[in-house]
A and B are shown apart, each in its own frame.
Chain A
């Protein structure tokens, strides 16, 4: 495992670009939980999330040539790939999320069903989940993890379109405040 060696991000990138599988193993060990967490939260299904995680890492492996450290952190880049791949799968599975949402009905319970109820084994997460109110958690989850548009969120939560942006900003501000305490 990566406990023995630690690579800096630039060393890791160089190793990956050199097609060295040792670095890829390291990358997997260090980042797969975060990326798996994204896939799991998006898809709400461990098997599907596992498949998607493999897709994510294959994309990283194949696309590493095009990663540019000057443009942003490696983690940010990978997180983007993970989110895209997972939401893509979600969309192709559900065909239209809107349809699914429609079936569930436009109430708060519907959005509860769409968000993963986590097995909380992380102290920080406990705090976040405790201190972000449900409304704030739901709006972040719908936007970030379900890839919902403003219009879709407005419909799901039954709030005016203009309120979505404001509520999102408040949620992020609250998240920041909580993170400062941890």
Chain B
């Protein structure tokens, strides 16, 4: 601490004349305890102040002393029953004085202690109550927050799903409207009559989609695969799901096709088609 600067800051003068708040005064007292120079400065100001006070001295009316001595005697008799309040007051004053050693006291320690104690009790009670309320509220809020968060995650996921679905539907819509796409209806082959699937193929962009309308559920480990047939050769056009959420499932691009056919293959698809497992087939028009 820069002691000289502290001394010339004016804080000691303000302390001695009682201008500082309790907290500020306590800080000054601590500084007085720590630094002899600050103590000396504070003592000097204190003495100046006391000289000023003494200048205003005035002899009280003579009757006062007699009255006081009478009260004192009465007080002595009553001293067997200690006046707790008064003792608290003087104690507070002495405490304040002794921790301080200077003139600047906190105002009316008795009242302050009393009011302070009452206020503190009330505040404590209020605070405790509020804490309990706040705690249980906080607990409620926490639970609610968790629930809401979970709900929000759910909603977000749902919204994303809907959005994806919507996007897809819109895409499907545009596909269906797009005159460049050729629609090839594939009907059941042999014993699979009644099965239906439709191809949506753009010969220019080569984009290909399959619509699995009626296909029997594949056995465990099996999957449907699409083939494009050009001049009797079957070219893999990719695998697809029987019960996709999407109506039109995108498959591999198809360069050329005269006929589309769907076979049942092992899961993951095959290099070469299992021809006796052909379910549907359809000829590309034109």
Contact = CB atoms under 8 A, between A and B. Distances in A.
A68 B107 contact: no
A128 B107 contact: no
Interface residues of A, number: 67
B76 A168 contact: no
B59 A33 contact: yes
B2 interface: no
A168 B55 contact: no
Contacts of A143: 14, 17-19
A63 B90 contact: yes
A53 B60 contact: yes
Interface in A63-118: 63, 66-68, 71-72, 75-77, 79-81, 83-85, 87-88, 91, 116, 118
Interface string B40-61: 0000111011111111111111
B102 interface: yes
Contact of B93 (A21, A40, A84): A84
Contact of A62 (B61, B65, B75, B107): B75
Contact of B103 (A24, A28, A50, A79): A79
Interface in B74-102: 75-76, 83, 86-87, 89-91, 93-102
A32 B49 CA distance: 17
B159 interface: no
Contacts of A66: 90-91, 94-95, 98
Nearest to B106: A84
Contacts of B190: none
Contacts of B245: none
A166 B108 contact: no
Nearest to A78: B97
B58 to A, nearest CB: 5
Contacts of A153: 19
B57 A34 contact: yes
Contacts of A175: 48-49, 52
B64 interface: yes
B76 A169 contact: no
A168 B48 CA distance: 14
B97 A77 contact: yes
Contacts of B54: 34, 37
A168 B14 contact: yes
B94 A37 contact: no
Contact of A68 (B67, B68, B83, B98): B98
Given A71-B97, A125-B55, A144 B17 contact: yes
A149 B105 CA distance: 13
Interface string A137-151: 000100110010110
Nearest to B109: A84
A57 B75 CA distance: 12
A19 B68 contact: no
A54 interface: yes
B258 interface: no
Contacts of A46: 61
A23 to B, nearest CB: 12
B153 to A, nearest CB: 53
B257 interface: no
A159 interface: no
Nearest to B59: A33
B175 interface: no
7 contacts: A40-B58, A46-B61, A54-B64, A68-B94, A87-B107, A91-B108, A168-B19
Q: Which 4 residue pairs are nearest across A and B when measured between Cβ atoms?
A: A63-B90, A169-B10, A66-B94, A88-B108
Given A29-B65, A72-B98, 19 more contacts: A25-B69, A34-B54, A36-B59, A37-B54, A54-B67, A54-B71, A57-B72, A59-B93, A80-B96, A80-B103, A83-B105, A88-B111, A125-B55, A128-B52, A128-B55, A169-B10, A172-B48, A176-B48, A179-B51
